[in-house]
Structure 1
């Protein structure tokens, strides 16, 4: 079963890396053909990528309480939703400070989660585990911070919410330098350990963050890198996935961790439409912003739930 699981982890890593490379190239091409100010193709790619990523967090209740009684499960879901609603209110009420909190939280969650994925893969193939702090800081900061201080982020933020345009208070150069220093140190540490494939991951994330428009960079990373790798990790915790592993079917194991989360995709878009109606805003202008707010808000309870899973993976 371990060999089958290793095949899945390797395939997911290769696929996520390939998608990042393709998205970077497409971004360069579309920017040349349609212009850097053209937002139509960016919104299409971002919406598709976000839709791919949404289901990965919908199984938190099954992972946290796999054999819980209905009442306990219901209480967990109510608390989970309450935390997300509180986060939505905070982001919509205090746009800038809520946004800054999300940026810091997301960078932490993404970096540690990606390092945990590599740690689990190392355990499967018998490699020495990667020290989390050789990889996590750069893996978390690059896809979150760089797109948001990119000069092209102004148009994107104006599209989703103009109040966020100056969220960094003008410290763009300082943020870029800090991320560059952290990334360089991580790359040197990885190269010194001969972790060349991990260093390639960091370079791919840097390329996406630097060359893709901000909306595309974040959405593609979230849906096609973070979500896919997290889903691969969930297969170790779900009975249907474990059964598929025993039959030597890694594809079925992955599907078993995706299909139960698909209703969350429909639920998210329905909730966004309802939220837009209550906010009395034009849906066509605010749909992406409210979708992002909902995803960011759901990340708060999701990060709390997965913290234990991440710690266990990093300590193996």
Structure 2
């Protein structure tokens, strides 16, 4: 893989989408004054457009990274999805409030994991140790998961109640999520996020003073500032819907494009459409499978759309979140394996 290919992927799938998110800041700032249904529609469109597809070629990752046979690659990843995804669904059925908190924590981990991999692709050199990369992951993953809790707790709570309400009656769902939204949790979360942000950006600045490339650190600090602004200003469901599609998913798609020699060759030729077409072809079957998982969850949860005989926006979002949670845990396992193969968390230069 040439430096030009890596640079193009970084530009197409990370830097330009970040600029697009910055341009959307005024729109995001208006969304707290709009009905939450606007956010639900945005989340649905983002999931349809790219969110569900970004993990839909996990079955090809061992094949393309380790050179194992297609049969072994498909079987191993399929088993991971069946076991871990099933465990998540059982967890929601048994203890939905705890499962919701676990899903938030898992997503915090995974979205931090994804952004550190993007910084690795960009060859930044101000994060030379595992500890510094872990701190960056805490910040990057916490921005979409924790900052909305600080800025917009009412809507955050509404989503939690909708999700837990798939399994409990309304009053019981509200009581179940009460511990998540006590003032002490928000105070502790604010302390963690502010402290981690200052520590991460400050440690990077120390590295720059010691000779690390200033441009990589400025990019890191600029993206962190942008994400702080985005999640402070925008309503949570809208903010996460846009972020999921425009930021996290596209960055992961770019990473996967580099694993496919045919798609990487298209990038080298400057053919973005060709690279995306190749990815879309590979991802199409299991993207459809992901939506079938959403439909299945909607049919089996005790108080979901099937039981109600209608699809309310809150129920639709909650069902999607439970299904996405079931897909996220095995996806995180596959990405963690990929990280290990590529040395993302190993101290020393990226690459």
Matches of residues 1-316 of structure 1 in structure 2 within 5 Å?
1-32=2-33, 34=34, 38-51=35-48, 52-66=50-64, 67-70=68-71, 73-74=74-75, 76-122=77-123, 128=125, 130-131=127-128, 132-133=133-134, 135-149=136-150, 150-152=152-154, 153-162=156-165, 163=173, 165-166=177-178, 168=180, 170=182, 171-192=185-206, 193=208, 194=214, 195-280=217-302, 281-282=304-305, 283-285=310-312, 286-311=315-340, 312-314=342-344, 315=346, 316=351
Question: In structure 2, do the counterparts of structure 1 residues 43 and 69 end up closer, same or farther at CA, with 3 Å as the change threshold?
Answer: closer
Deviation at 1:205, TM superposition (A): 1.3
* Number of equivalenced pairs: 308
Deviation at 1:30, TM superposition (A): 3.5
Judge conservation of contact 2:117–2:339 (CA < 8 Å) in 1: yes
Partner Cα separation in structure 2 for residue 46 and residue 69 of structure 1: 33
Instruction: Pick which of 110-119 and 60-69 moved more.
Output: 60-69
Question: In structure 2, do the counterparts of structure 1 residues 89 and 16 end up closer, same or farther at CA, with 3 Å as the change threshold?
Answer: farther
Deviation at 1:196, TM superposition (A): 0.9
Deviation at 1:47, TM superposition (A): 1.1
Tell me the secondary structure at the aligned position of residue 166 of structure 1: helix
Instruction: Pick which of 110-119 and 253-262 moved more.
Output: 253-262
Deviations along 1:22-73, one digit per CA (max 9) or x if unpaired, are 44321222434x3xxx122111111112222111111111012344253663
Deviations along 1:212-239, one digit per CA (max 9) or x if unpaired, are 1121222222222111111111112113
Partner Cα separation in structure 1 for residue 158 and residue 268 of structure 2: 50
Judge conservation of contact 2:297–2:322 (CA < 8 Å) in 1: no
Instruction: Pick which of 280-289 and 56-65 moved more.
Output: 280-289
Judge conservation of contact 2:9–2:267 (CA < 8 Å) in 1: no
Q: TM-score, normalised by structure 1?
A: 0.87
Partner Cα separation in structure 2 for residue 188 and residue 129 of structure 1: 11
Deviation at 1:160, TM superposition (A): 4.0
Q: TM-score, normalised by structure 2?
A: 0.79
Partner Cα separation in structure 2 for residue 306 and residue 298 of structure 1: 12
Gaps of 5+ in 1: none
Judge conservation of contact 1:58–1:261 (CA < 8 Å) in 2: yes
Judge conservation of contact 1:83–1:301 (CA < 8 Å) in 2: yes
Judge conservation of contact 1:4–1:249 (CA < 8 Å) in 2: no
Partner Cα separation in structure 2 for residue 72 and residue 262 of structure 1: 18
Deviation at 1:199, TM superposition (A): 0.4
Aligned equivalent of 2:170? none
Deviation at 1:288, TM superposition (A): 1.2
Partner Cα separation in structure 2 for residue 288 and residue 197 of structure 1: 33
Deviation at 1:18, TM superposition (A): 2.6
Partner Cα separation in structure 2 for residue 271 and residue 298 of structure 1: 9
Question: In structure 2, do the counterparts of structure 1 residues 113 and 71 end up closer, same or farther at CA, with 3 Å as the change threshold?
Answer: closer
Judge conservation of contact 1:63–1:238 (CA < 8 Å) in 2: no
Partner Cα separation in structure 1 for residue 73 and residue 43 of structure 2: 36
Partner Cα separation in structure 2 for residue 246 and residue 11 of structure 1: 12
